[in-house]
Amino acid sequence: MTAIAVPAVQPRRTDVRTVPLSRIISVELRKMFDTRSGFWLIASIAISAVLAAAGVILFATDDELTYSTFATAIRFPVVVILPIVAILAVTGEWSQRTGLATFTMIPHRSRIIAAKAISSVVIAIAAMALTFAVGALGNLLGAAVTGTTPRWDVTITQCLYYVLGMVLSLLVGFMLGVLIRASIGAVVAYFVLTFLLPTIFSLLAAGSRWFSEVQPWVDIQFAQSGLFVFDKSLTGEQWANIAVTGTVWLVVPLLIGLRLVMRSEVK
């Protein structure tokens, strides 16, 4: 009796579909608002913008009630809050010990870090749009209270400079989060880099002529300050200052931090 050969059943191959980056970004955006601390931190951007605009209306003279005055006043609290938002977006995976679940579901860590960076920039741009709107309402309200004509002394180009400066400040916070991966340490490092080092550099520049010439090339805060000045345009040398200091203080540490993130053990 002849045996009939039965063909071997081949297991069905299932195509593995990667999670779209857009979905990861939406998850990262939602995670920023999930906790009470995250929600109120982002809400404080709008609250501080309203308070700053109210302060200008109450205390500024009639000559100072211009759109640039409102934008400058709103910048000070927002430029502090936005980098902290970026820091917590990164360090939350380590400080809250959610990284194991996150990197198990999405094994490619680079996609998670990219999604966190994009979502942080989206928050920054949305915050800038909100602050511009609050500044415009403050300018109109201030003119109505004083009986003067609203003065719009900021051009579109200067607004773009303003947004670029804010995004760079946020990316500094993001870089510190990637490099240190601990909330408290990254926040402390941010305040040192933003407030302590510029003060030391300013003292050195005041006491040394040669350092005053070098300061724009080593002080990232000094180099980027021109982005927030509304009455003049940046020169080619100022753009070079921003590029050099950004490379030294932002790009190089970020690359080191990314390498550490890819190799570090997640618990």
Report pLDDT digits (tens) over 148-181.
Answer: 888 898 888 888 998 999 999 999 999 999 999 8
For 4-19, what is the mean pLDDT?
58
Spatial separation of the C-alpha atoms in residues 267 and 94, rounded to whole Å: 8
* Average of per-residue pLDDT values in the chain: 86
Instruction: Write out the two tokens for 198.
Output: 């510029």
Q: Which amino acid is at 39?
A: F
What confidence tens digit (pLDDT) does each residue in 226-267 have? 888 877 788 889 999 999 999 999 999 999 999 988 877 666
Specify whether the CB–CB gap between 94 and 70 falls below 8 A. no
Those residues whose C-beta lies under 8 Å from the C-beta of residue 167, and which sit 6 or more positions away, are 121, 124, 125
Tokens 């724009």: give the residue.
Answer: 216
Tens-place pLDDT, residues 94-151? 766 666 677 777 778 888 899 999 999 998 899 889 889 999 999 999 888 888 888 8
- Measured between alpha carbons, how far is 218 from 205 in angstroms, rounded to an integer? 11
Q: Which of 38, 26, 35 is nearest to 85 (CA)?
A: 38
